[in-house]
């Protein structure tokens, strides 16, 4: 359970798709003018990420990586189809985005119209593909189907929180006095940078405990080394004394 909570916390706050890797910035900046629109796009990204990351995890485990086809028979154990990674991952993302587009158009035409071209553009949103590629490169951390589901959901949730927070700030900025040269994208980039700095502080919540533990263990290791040195010196002196007595 702790493994899942750590992964979710890191994906949402420490390794946020927007503030840590700056993926998906195009739709992040374009659709963050209204909170209502940001909520709709954020929900769509969460849905797509939650489905595509586990599906691509299964593709990677049972088809793409070297030895993945061993379940078909020993003669396929040496096959390596990793060169098809980008093609299959993008195909999975495009399929899920098409499904989301159909659902949104059917049940919320107003949201569909407000999102406009940015809804189908989720298919080429680098944050969506980046989630699957990060999952593939972190096999030691994301080593099960359940963890891939948790990572897909939490990475999408982190992106949604980022765009929702920026949309709320931009709605308030409309009623503020912003210098003319900074109006529009200028103040938006500054706000995004400040938010990224704020999110960086969450990294200490995962590393602080380890550093304290290491700091406590360091004196113990020094004491152990000093004791070993003293023991070696005592043994050496004892050997010299015995040699003198024998002479």
Q: What is the pLDDT of residue 150?
A: 94
Q: CB count, 10 Å around CB of 112?
A: 17
Q: What is the pLDDT of residue 227?
A: 62
Q: How far apart are CA 170 and CA 151, in angstroms?
A: 29
Q: What is the pLDDT of residue 207?
A: 59
The string over 164-196, giving b where at least 16 C-beta atoms fall within 10 Å of a residue's C-beta and e elsewhere, is bbbbebbeebeeeeeeeeeeeeebbeebbeebe
pLDDT tens, per residue, the chain with 247 residues? 888 888 999 899 988 999 988 888 888 888 888 898 888 888 889 988 999 999 999 999 999 888 888 888 888 888 888 899 999 999 999 888 888 888 888 888 887 887 777 777 777 788 899 999 999 888 888 989 999 999 999 999 999 999 999 999 998 888 888 888 888 888 889 999 999 998 888 877 765 545 454 455 555 555 666 666 556 655 555 555 455 555 5
Packing angle between helix 35-59 and helix 145-173, nearest 10 degrees? 160
Q: What is the pTM of this model?
A: 0.76
Q: How far apart are CA 63 and CA 86, in angstroms?
A: 13
């Amino acid at each position: 359970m702790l493994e899942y909570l750590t992964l979710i916390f890191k994906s949402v706050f420490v390794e946020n798709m927007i503030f840590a890797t700056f993926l998906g910035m195009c739709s992040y900046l374009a659709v963050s003018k209204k909170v209502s629109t940001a909520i709709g796009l954020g929900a769509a990204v969460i849905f797509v990420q939650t489905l595509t990351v586990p599906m691509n995890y299964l593709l990677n485990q049972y088809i793409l990586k070297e030895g993945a086809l061993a379940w078909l028979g020993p003669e396929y154990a040496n096959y390596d189809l990793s060169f098809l990674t980008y093609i299959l991952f993008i195909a999975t993302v495009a399929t899920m985005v098409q499904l989301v587009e159909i659902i949104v158009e059917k049940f919320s035409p107003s949201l569909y119209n407000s999102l406009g071209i940015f809804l189908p553009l989720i298919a080429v949103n680098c944050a969506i593909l980046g989630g699957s590629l990060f999952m593939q490169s972190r096999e030691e951390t994301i080593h099960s189907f359940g963890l891939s589901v948790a990572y897909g959901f939490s990475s999408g949730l982190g992106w949604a929180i980022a765009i929702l927070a920026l949309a709320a700030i931009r709605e308030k900025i409309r009623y503020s006095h912003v210098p003319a040269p900074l109006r529009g994208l200028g103040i938006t980039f500054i706000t995004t940078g400040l938010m990224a700095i704020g999110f960086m502080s969450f990294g200490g919540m995962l590393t602080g405990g380890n550093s304290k533990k290491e700091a406590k263990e360091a004196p113990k290791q020094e004491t152990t080394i000093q004791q070993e040195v003293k023991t070696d010196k005592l043994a050496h002196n004892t050997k010299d004394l015995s040699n003198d007595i024998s002479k």
